[in-house]
Copies of this chain bind each other. A is one copy, B any other.
Amino acid sequence: MANDRIETALSEVLDRITKKPSPPKMSAALRHAVLDGGARVRPKLCLAVAYACGDQHESRLAAAAAASIELIHCASLVHDDLPCFDDADLRRGKPSVHAAYGEPLAVLSGDALIVAAFETLARCSAGNPIRANSLIVDLALATGAPNGICAGQGWESEADIDLAAYHRSKTGALFVAATRMGARAMGEDPDPWTTLGAKIGEAFQVADDLRDALLDSEQLGKPAGQDAVHDRPNAVAHLGVDGAVKLLDSILEGALEAIPPCDGDKALRAIVRQQAERLVPVGVARTVA
C-alpha cells in the first residue's frame, strides 16, 4: 500500500519533469536515477509515521513528503557516484547515472531532482499552504547546508572531520526529515519525532557499514568495500563485526523506545523492526527479537 503510493507519486513527478521539451537523454537519465530499484526506506518510514499520525493512506501531502525525500536521496546517490566522489559504476544493481549517461547529465539530473523535490511539495500545497512551506523548510534543512546531507558529504573534504556532525548530516538528516515530515504532513508537531528519525539514521549507518564490510558487489548492487578504499569511518573496522552488531541492536532498541505515544505506535514499531531486519546481512547473529 505504502509502496504503491510512493511509486505512484514518483511516477507522477517523473512524468512531469520528463515531458516535452525536456532533452531526451536527460529525461532517460532522470528516470534511470529514480525508477526501478531502491528500497525506498526513507519514504516508507515517512508514510509509516504519517499513518501512525492518522493518515488513512489518502493524504496527498504525506505522499508528496515521502516522494520529495526519495527524490533528494536519489539526487544524492547520482552525485555521490560521480568520479570526483565514489567514482562508482554500479548502483541499485545497474549502471550508475554517470556510467550510463555521462558526467554532465549526471550532474544536471541530480540538480533537477533536487528542484523536483521542492516543486513536488509546493504543488501539493492546496488547502495547506502553511504546512507545505514548513515541509519545504524541513526538507531544505535535511538536504543543504549547514547540516543537511550536502554538508555531511562536505565533511569528507576536511582534514579534521567532526565525526558526529558527519554522520548526523550525511546519513541521519534524511531519516530525521522522514519522521518529522510524516508527522508534519498530518498536522502533528514534528519535534517529538526527531529522535526516532535520528536513531534509525544511526542504525542505518551501522547496518550500511556491516553490509559494506561483509557483502560483495553483486549482493550490494554497488561496489563493496568502499569505506576501506576511501578511508571513511566504518563501525566494523572500529568495533569488529560482533561489536557493530551489538551497537546496531542497542540503537534499534533506542529507536523503538523513541516512538512517541500515538494511535498507530504498535504498527509503526512492527514496521521499524521489519525494515531493520532487511538492513542486516543474512547470517549475522542478532540479539533483538
**Contact between B25 and A146, CB atoms less than 8 A apart:** no
Within 8 A of B (CB), among A166-188: 169
Contact (Cβ within 8 A) B144 A111: yes
Return chain B residues, CB-CB under 8 Å to A46: none
Q: Residues 102-122 of chain A: 1 if any B CB is under 8 Å from the residue's CB, otherwise 0?
A: 111101101110111011011
A107 and B79 in contact (CB under 8 A), knowing A22-B154, A26-B157, A115-B143? yes
Q: Is the CB of B107 within 8 A of A145?
A: no
Q: A18-B145, A112-B151, A158-B25 are in contact. Are A104 and B122 (CB under 8 A)?
A: no
| Total copies of this chain within the assembly | 2
Contact-residue bracket for chain A: 35 or more
Determine whether the beta carbon of A115 is less than 8 Å from that of B132. Answer: no
| Interface presence of A232 (CB below 8 A) | no
Q: Does A129 contact B (CB under 8 A)?
A: yes
Chain B residues with Cβ below 8 Å from A75 are 111
Determine the chain B residues whose CB is within 8 A of the CB of A30 once the complex forms. 145
Complex CA–CA separation, A24 to B125 (angstroms): 36
Provide the residues of chain B in CB contact with A147, threshold 8 Å.
21-22
Within 8 A of B (CB), among A1-36: 16-27, 30
Q: Do A111 and B150 touch (CB < 8 A)?
A: yes
Nearest CB of chain B from residue A51's CB, rounded to whole Å: 25
Stretch at the interface among A133-141, A237-245, A257-265, A278-286: A133-141
A228 part of interface (Cβ distance < 8 Å): no
Complex-state Cα separation, A141 to B129, whole angstroms: 19
If A21-B165, A158-B23 touch, whether A115 touches B140 (CB-CB below 8 Å) is yes
**CB-CB < 8 A to A121: which residues of B?**
136
Q: Does A216 contact B (CB under 8 A)?
A: no
In the assembled complex, the CB of A70 is this many whole angstroms from the nearest CB of chain B, namely 16
Beyond A18-B146, A146-B22, is A114–B116 a contact (Cβ under 8 Å)? no
**A93 vs chain B, min Cβ distance (A):** 24
| Closest beta carbon of chain B to A192's beta carbon, Å | 22
Is A153 part of the contact surface with B, judged by Cβ < 8 Å? yes
Q: A25-B157, A115-B143, A146-B17 are in contact. Are A104 and B133 (CB under 8 A)?
A: no
List 7 other contacts, CB 8 Å, given A105-B157, A121-B136: A16-B146, A115-B118, A116-B145, A118-B118, A119-B136, A129-B129, A129-B133
